[in-house]
Structure 1
């Protein structure tokens, strides 16, 4: 591979080569799934009211807004003879994330938990953004959809397992209750397991995957040296933002409504479903802890469904070209209906059906926008543009956290907490319909 560069025509990779380069996402998703499934539970255990939960989450999207473009910019300009371009960031992020996962559930106050969420999300972002760029670095354009779908398959596995961890360790005899204001041991053990999986899967990818070097190392180093410095870096990121391709701006509209919906789920699924489905609203009761385990387990269904859907797409994209636009539109609308169905559920087991529909949307969100984007941007700037693209992930979460959820669901649908899921569903359907504005043929076909 030494004679292949980022600018060369890249050879097609086998399934297992793509699997190896994406395997670290299993650990990243363990971190995200534990954060998404159980952070609100930790906040409620420490005394947060339901209306306070979104603002306590704000550290996560704010961190992504700052960290991801910077990491993308830096990784584009990095080359290590031992670790390559993206892998140094995998390793740094994995070490920091694993430490944060261990200490998170030992928080004794809300400000400590919010602080650890900030550290955890910053650390996960350091690892995650270069993984997106690595797919585009390593694969020819004909395999981009395939590569991002394999990544989504691994993410689905991670979501399902991690979401069930507290329930699994509780079944093994670990305490699921604690004194008021203390996070149960079941959650602490689950986060510890997550930290081990995070670092070990990242190391697997680092040891099994090689990266293509710049075509001319000396010219690469010289060009980077000439533009060194924080001010130059900020200017270049700003220039790339101003020169953003039209298709990227249009995808941003889809991303806004998509991630507003999922942030609403991560913030409110536990309080909404423990109250509406399990009739257990008190965070300090045994009934609540049992219900919270169940909600986390049901949320794992969307990871399992996304895994199955991604597996189906792996087979399809390995053999055929697809219409990314209409596939993404249909998938998001199905997910939106899944959220809305929660208001009509009478029996807990029916949540499997709702989260299965949501999983179809999740699989598409994690693959189709990135496949469309990677076909429309300069390969030399893949890292920084993938980082900038994540603005369209974090901005809707910031809007949601500073009042977008609380004000909107109460104004449109009423005070009941389950109406947050109705809001999420409507947002995801809007995201689906927004695909109609994508007209770039190169982005659509893949």
Structure 2
């Protein structure tokens, strides 16, 4: 194993621009994402299966998944804020890679042994928090180390490893069953052995991949980064400070809206999941008022910095927020409902203890492997498409392919042919995990790269909160509780995101 140092710059030297890095340096920088996505892949393909095995009903799956977006909402902005201000022997971002990877490894080992549903949900919460500790600094890591002209390639390389890691993770239960005859069924309330072994293998692979990046890369020192960003940040004038009146008035309006929503859920006996969404609105209002009070007292901290940057974000980031909302709503609909949809519609086996359900759930793992495999290959094609159509145009094309893929799952009834629509989903996924970050990294001040990447995660989390709180109610109230219709809603959401991506303003607009 070799150690890679950013080429062309001696330690302590000052430079106006970042030097270009070799392909091997970019490779080493992104290998850790292979491990991160193994964790996400195992989570996405098997969490609903574990929950149903432990007794969860289909219409309660969305609320059980709420752990993932909530932890991302809390963890990523905080980690981004502190990673911007960290410098240790391991550097700026790598300490977070390492701590998050160790915690995720432990959660992966424990989760499939959960004897109760509440414990499995708790493990999902811990696992997602740990993955977020690792993942957020990886996004900023590319922005730190690469010049603007190489960032699209850097995020595309992350997309490749995301796809490759998810293929490995998603197919593990199927491979263990088909190739090694490991049982994919188990008594009621017991997680099958194929799933358990998959989590053990995934834990080891995740830790090894993250350690590869930790020990084969180096980071620029704070002095070097200041030299790189001195000229660039001059083009990113800070937004006007929010007035005390705006903090209190805005916060009061949000808090009032949240309080009225909480009351309405109780008064009209609406789905209890809506309490979470109403609580989020209320909490956002209270945080604004707290930030205003802290600023009035002359006390700046992580809360004031994060809240301030939310309201001072560049117009490019505001446009991307709309794109992210509808993109991630669609993805979350698929992750929650693809397994129950395919097992019920294509295999006619909604019972989690049946052999047909086990077969269908394993096939869903393969389908997720297919779309992630396509994403790994699409990572090399997207920069070519972006060179011809621009980043925004390329993203719109890929999101449209994702919508076509969701519709294909709804229309096709032969489960053996479901790999075809997964091609479109794969292109959308590859684009979602690369193009918005390439656009964003070139539109925000480098000295706040970690914080802005963390704040950007809010626009991934909020649609997941909306999906987790509303999808179950919509499916029950409008579509008779049939999970297959979640994919139709996802297709519409992808098309809206595609249109919005064409309207994202250029930097400085």
The residue aligned with 1:298 is 367
Please state how far the C-alpha of 1:7 moved relative to its aligned partner: 7.4
CA distance in 1 between counterparts of 2:60 and 2:374 reads 31
The residue aligned with 1:223 is none
The 1:351/1:20 distance shift into structure 2, 3 A limit, reads same
Structure 1 residues 280-330: Cα deviation after superposition (integer angstroms, max 9, x where no partner): 11001122112111111111111011111112235667xx57501111011
Q: Secondary structure at the match of 1:160?
A: helix
Structure 1 residues 147-203: Cα deviation after superposition (integer angstroms, max 9, x where no partner): 100110111101111100001111212221111010001000001111001110000
- Residues 6, 213 of structure 1: 8 Å contact kept: no
Q: For 2:153, which of 142, 146, 156 is the aligned residue?
A: 146
Structure 1 residues 116-171: Cα deviation after superposition (integer angstroms, max 9, x where no partner): 00000000000000000000000000111111001101111011111000011112
The residue aligned with 1:437 is 503
Q: Secondary structure at the match of 1:211?
A: coil
The residue aligned with 2:492 is 426
CA distance in 1 between counterparts of 2:299 and 2:199 reads 35
CA distance in 1 between counterparts of 2:385 and 2:484 reads 37
- Residues 277, 347 of structure 1: 8 Å contact kept: yes
CA distance in 2 between counterparts of 1:230 and 1:200 reads 41
The residue aligned with 2:133 is 126
Kindly name which structure, 1 or 2, has the bigger radius of gyration based on alpha carbons. Answer: 2
The residue aligned with 2:434 is 367
Please state how far the C-alpha of 1:413 moved relative to its aligned partner: 4.9
The residue aligned with 1:242 is 311
Structure 1 residues 184-236: Cα deviation after superposition (integer angstroms, max 9, x where no partner): 010000011110011100000011100000117999xxxxxxx9x99612111
CA distance in 2 between counterparts of 1:20 and 1:386 reads 21
Q: For 1:58, which of 55, 66, 78 is the aligned residue?
A: 66
Q: Secondary structure at the match of 1:215?
A: helix
Q: Secondary structure at the match of 2:21?
A: coil
Normalised by the size of structure 1, how large is the TM-score?
0.92
Structure 1 residues 313-348: Cα deviation after superposition (integer angstroms, max 9, x where no partner): 35667xx57501111011001101110111211211
CA distance in 2 between counterparts of 1:384 and 1:6 reads 24
Structure 1 gaps, min length 5: 220-226
Q: How does 1:279-290 map to 2 (within 5 A)?
A: 279-290=348-359
Q: Does 1:252 align with 2:321?
A: yes
The 1:439/1:182 distance shift into structure 2, 3 A limit, reads same
- Residues 91, 202 of structure 1: 8 Å contact kept: yes
The 1:7/1:123 distance shift into structure 2, 3 A limit, reads farther
The 1:216/1:152 distance shift into structure 2, 3 A limit, reads closer
CA distance in 1 between counterparts of 2:126 and 2:216 reads 28
Structure 2 gaps, min length 5: 1-8, 228-294
Q: Secondary structure at the match of 1:202?
A: helix
- Residues 4, 10 of structure 1: 8 Å contact kept: no
